[in-house]
Amino acid sequence: MKRMTPLLAVLLGLLALPALAAVAAVAAVAAPATVRIVSPPPGQPIFGPIEIRAEVRGAAVRKVEFYLDSLRVGVVEAPPWRVVVDVGHENAEHAIEVVAHGPSGLVGSASLRTLPLQVDDEIEVGLQQLYVVVDRSGQRVHDLKREDFTVLDNGVPQEIVTFERGEIPFTAVLLVDSSTSMAGRRLVTAVDGAKNFVGGMNRLDEAKLMLFSDRILLETPFTSIPSILTLGLSSLEAKGGTALNDALYLGLKRLEGRQGRKVVILVSDGVDIESVLPMEQVQRIARQSNAVLYWLRQRRADQEALPQTQIFSAWRDGEGHRRELERLHSAVLESGGRIETLDSLDQIQTALQTLLRELREQYVLGYYSNQSKGRGTWHDLELRVRGDGLKIRTQEGYLER
């Protein structure tokens, strides 16, 4: 066998350089990304809204997926690689996984498990959340920080342990009055507004539509798909009287067991004729649910000429109806919601879109109360904010669970 001359070896080496460079380039592209979960820490208990944050290094990354207990809860296509998700208040173990996708289809991933709180005696972890709207001269204020807020629970300052903007998912019940006064185009306009509201929600938000008169005429499942809200509507007609209290009670009951931010949106003139339940009972369950109530109040054509004291029904006299209306006002404001009067149903779509923006622009504050007074006791809340000319709106209190 002939030995390779030094000159030939050099020439072959030079020819091999481009091939080696190509192999190295392919290897660099094919190398998976390195993924590390920065938050939450492994082995620690987690409750309520948490931030899942990852550090991704190495290969180019096209997107990063976040999973909680095998359910995908977020997809991010550019750094920072983070999502906020509500894990609920159950003292349970959770599995978190972060998967990075590169342009070649290869992935890098990381996972961790959080552990339940280990104690000798069972304890209730009661994270109290406040949903806060802040504005100055009618304009939303978006740049406040955790230290700008002070929470007083029964007059005692509390430590704010979670602080987020309106990224927290919500579950909404859309209650639309479908009594005889809503016949024809009015009902179609109201349902279209509800459908557009759902179309503007984030992927983890859910809503259900409930049409009511003196009974529930139609109820959809909780969904984030607008087309589902129209199922069964083709043959539906507005009819019957108005049982507002009964419908609001059922809407609040539908939110029982749902985690995170809960919202009820009522579209009605507020004149209840047929309800068996008093508003006092509705307000009690509203307090228990911690749901935020919004009332889009339709102005009736005869509203100014027909004082509430002239409304009579089988259940209440004129004075009774006046008190019911006052309690409805009180329940909405106490929950941290608001009342918006609509002069026509054509305004409903704009009103619902404005409400959706408000939910996105809320601050979400969480704390563990150091003022336990026993299950079922009422806590007065006061929220203060640092800054000139700022107005805040949030719930006025809550029932201890």
Residues 349 and 366 reside in one and the same domain: no
3-class SS at 100?
A: strand
Only one residue has tokens 């009579």, namely: 312
Tell me the sheet residues that pair with 84.
51
Q: Which amino acid is at 345?
A: L
Contact 50, 40 (CB under 8 A): yes
Pairing mode, if any, of strands 170-177 and 206-212? parallel
Does residue 322 form part of some domain? Answer: yes
Residues 289 and 202 reside in one and the same domain: yes
Residues 153 and 237 reside in one and the same domain: no
Give ∠ CA 68-51-129 in degrees, rounded to 5. Answer: 100
Minimal CA–CA distance to 39: which of 129, 162, 146, 155? 162
- Enter the pTM of the model: 0.68
Q: What is the pLDDT of residue 238?
A: 84
| pLDDT one digit per residue (tens) for the chain, 401 residues | 445 554 444 434 444 444 444 434 444 444 567 899 999 988 888 888 888 999 998 778 889 999 999 888 999 998 999 998 888 877 889 999 999 988 777 678 999 999 887 654 444 447 899 999 999 998 999 999 999 999 999 999 999 998 988 778 899 999 999 988 788 788 888 888 888 898 899 888 999 999 999 999 989 899 888 888 777 676 678 888 889 999 999 999 999 888 889 999 999 876 788 888 889 999 999 998 999 999 998 875 544 434 444 565 656 677 777 888 889 999 999 999 999 998 887 899 999 999 999 999 999 999 999 888 888 899 999 999 999 999 999 999 998 87
Q: What is the CATH number of the domain that holds 56?
A: 2.60.40.10
Give ∠ CA 96-98-100 in degrees, rounded to 5. Answer: 170
Does residue 16 form part of some domain? Answer: no
Distance CA 148, CA 214 (A): 47
Q: End of a domain among 50, 85, 114? A: 114
3-class SS at 358?
A: helix
Distance CA 236, CA 220 (A): 13
Does residue 11 form part of some domain? Answer: no
Residues 311 and 374 reside in one and the same domain: no
Q: What is the CATH number of the domain that holds 344?
A: 3.40.50.410
Residues 53 and 184 reside in one and the same domain: no
Q: How many CB atoms lie within 10 A of CB 117?
A: 13
Q: What is the pLDDT of residue 23?
A: 39
Tell me the sheet residues that pair with 177.
212
Tell me the sheet residues that pair with 266.
175, 295
- Sign of the torsion formed by the C-alpha atoms of 327, 284, 255 and 219: negative
Residues 151 and 228 reside in one and the same domain: no
Does residue 14 form part of some domain? Answer: no
Residue 317: CB partners within 8 Å, gap ≥ 6? none
Does residue 175 form part of some domain? Answer: yes
3-class SS at 305?
A: coil
Q: Roughly how many angstroms between the first and final C-alpha of the chain, as a whole number?
A: 90
Q: What is the pLDDT of residue 130?
A: 94
Does residue 6 form part of some domain? Answer: no
Residues 160 and 174 reside in one and the same domain: no
Residues 299 and 366 reside in one and the same domain: no
Residues 327 and 197 reside in one and the same domain: yes
Distance CA 238, CA 144 (A): 45
Domains in the chain, number: 3
Contact 217, 209 (CB under 8 A): no
Return the beta strands (E) in 77-205 as ranges.
82-86, 94-101, 107-114, 127-136, 139-140, 149-153, 156-158, 160-165, 170-177
Q: How many CB atoms lie within 10 A of CB 276?
A: 11
Contact 64, 101 (CB under 8 A): yes
Does residue 93 form part of some domain? Answer: yes
54: containing domain: 34-114
Residues 292 and 314 reside in one and the same domain: yes
Q: What is the pLDDT of residue 4?
A: 52
Contact 211, 184 (CB under 8 A): no
| Element containing residue 188 per DSSP (H, E) | helix 185-199
Does residue 65 form part of some domain? Answer: yes
Return the beta strands (E) in 223-358 as ranges.
261-268, 292-298, 339-342
For residue 176, give both structure tokens.
Answer: 């639309």
Q: What is the pLDDT of residue 392?
A: 95
Pairing mode, if any, of strands 94-101 and 82-86? unpaired
CA atoms within 13 A on the CB side of 346: 2
Residues 141 and 187 reside in one and the same domain: no
Residues 323 and 348 reside in one and the same domain: yes
Q: How many CB atoms lie within 10 A of CB 263?
A: 21
